Structure 1
C-alpha cells in the first residue's frame, strides 16, 4: 500500500515481474487487504491460543496475564512496528517479493476473502462509501502536479522546473493576457502613400507586419518580409498598393478568451505564427504571435524591440520600483513575485484607472491590498508611470 503508484506504473511498463504482480494485487485493494488481514488475524489468534495454553501449564492461572503481556510485546515489536516500518521505508524491496506469497494465498483463501469483502463492502455502502472508487484518487490535480514538480529537487533542473510549471499555468491565462494591444501594434496602413509604406517595410524591426486600411479593424492580412523582398527592390514608382495586397496572407482571427494552451494547438494546426485578437463584437483588440506564447513557457528568448520587462520595471531602492503604466500585471507579478489581481484589468494603468474611476492627477497615491502606488506621470488618456512597493503587513493584519 506504500508503493509509489506512478513509479509502479513505470515499472509495469518496463515489464518488471514484481511490479506487475503488485499492480494486479492493487487493482483490487479490498481483496488484497482482506487476504492480508485474514492471515494476520489468523496467526495472531493462533499465537495467542498457543501462548495461553503453554503459560497456563507453566504458571497456572497467572500464566494468562503473563502470556498476554509477553505476546503483545512480541507481536508489536516483531510482527507490527519493525516490519511495517521497514516496509514503509523500502516498499519495493518488501512488496515485490511478498507478492510471491500473497498471490497464492489470495487463491487459497479466495472463498473467505470473497465472503469478507461482500460483507465489508456492503457495510461501506451503507455508510455512503463506494469501495470501488479508489481509482479516481490516483489522478493528480494540477496543483498537486505543481507540488510534485517543485519537490523534484535535483531530479529536474531549476530551469526545466520553471518551464514545466509555466506549461501548467497556460490553462489559467488567455490570449488577452499576453497580446500586444492594438495601440502598440506596428502595421501598414494602405491609406498611406507607397513611399511611406516602403520606408516602413525597409526599416521594420519585425518579420511580419499587419496590413489594414484606415483602421486596424479593417484588416487586409499579414505581410511577411520574406515576401516583401519580391517587390521592394527596384524603382519605387513601379510599386503599387495592389502589390502589397497580393503578397499578404489572409488574416487569422482568434477570440480574446482563448486559453493559451488551446491557442498553441491552434497555431500548430493552422500553421500560423500570428493572430489578430478580437472581442465579442469582432473588433480587433491586438495581436498575438507564436513567440509571445512560447515565451510564456521558456521565458524571454527573442529580442523584444518594443521594450523588455526590465525596461518597463526599474528598481530605485528600498523596495520601490518605477513601472510603466502599460506594463502587463502578469509581467509585474512574475518579475517582482507579487500577486496583484488580474481578474479585471490586464495592465497597471487599467488596474489603477479602474480603482480611481478615471485617470487621476499626478502626485496622487493609493494602497491596493498590500501594495502602495504613487502616480508620477499621466497623460490625457492613461497613467504613464507609477512608483510602487509592497507593504510589509503585521501578523495581526
Structure 2
C-alpha cells in the first residue's frame, strides 16, 4: 500500500495488532542517482546525488547575464553521475564547458560539451578536485564565464557497510544493494491485498543507504532543539495510533507525550509526513553536502523483505507466530498485559517483553542489517496513497498521489 497521508506498515505481510503510535521518520540517502537541485538565486546549477549544489558565476560582460550559485563545491561518491547546468539570457546563445585538472591554472574545452548541461557520467576518485566551468556567448560575441565548481569525489561505501555522515546529528546508515524483487501481496492471506495488488516486478538499479534503525526520540529532539520545529500533532491535529481493531486518531497525543512512557532510545512517534520531511530537510543542512530523503515505498518493501522471495516475513513464513517475538515488536502477550485496549485483540502467543515501543536498536537485524522493519513503529515513505499497484512505477521511484 503506497501511503503518504498515512504511514506505510508492512503492507504485504500479515501483521498482528500493533500496539504503537505512528510514525517514525526513516531517512534515506541515495548513493548513485543524481538529483537536480535548483537554487532560487542561481542559474549555474551543479546537481549531485550525494552532494549539495556547487558552483557559481561572475559576469564579465553585461550582454549575457548569469547569476551566482552557492556553494562553490560539492561532494559525490565514485560512480555517481554529476550534472552541471547553466542558464543565461541573450540572443543566439552558444555554450561550452571547460575543465581544469590543475586547480585552475589551465582550462581546456571538453569535447562535445556544447549544451546548457554537462554530465560527468562516472566520476572516479582520481577526478577529485577537478574544476568545471561554463562559457556562454551570444550572437554578438559577448561571453560570460562562470566561476568554477569544484568536484570532490570519494570512494563509495560497500554494500552492508554501516556509516554516518556527521556526528552527532546524522543517523547510522546501511548500504543496501541494488536488485529486483516482486512487490505486492503474494497470497490471499496477506494483509491489504487490494491495495497491494497486483504483484509486480520492481528493479532498483542503484544501491542506496537506509537508516539502520527508526529515528529515535533523542535524534528527533536534537532536530527540534536546533530548529524550534512544532509538530502537526502539537498544533492540535493529534496522531494516529493502533487500537484493538484499527488505527484511531488521538487528539491528545504528541511525540513528547504519546500516551505511554518512552525512553530516548525508542523511536519517535506521533510525527506526521510533514514532520518527517522537515526532519529530512534539516539533515540536509547539517550533513555536510549530502542529500537525504524519505525512502520510496518500493525501497522500503525491498529493504523489509531483505532478499527473501517466497516467505511472508524476512525470517520465514511463521504461520503460527512463534518467531515473531524474536524478530519484531508487535501485538503479543506482553502488549496485551500492558495495554488495556488490547485485552480482546488477537495477538501472538509469544511475549517479546515490550508492551509498547522497543528501543530503536533492539531486536535482531534482518539480512540487510536493518532493525524493526516489521513492527515497533510505522515508517513514512515518500509516495502518495493509491488504491492499488496498477500503474505503479517499475523502477522503484516515488509514486505521486
**TM-score for the superposition, normalised by structure 1:** 0.20
Structure of greater relative contact order (alpha carbons < 8 Å, 6+ residues apart): 2
Structure whose alpha-carbon radius of gyration is higher:
1
Q: Which structure features the higher share of helix residues?
A: 1
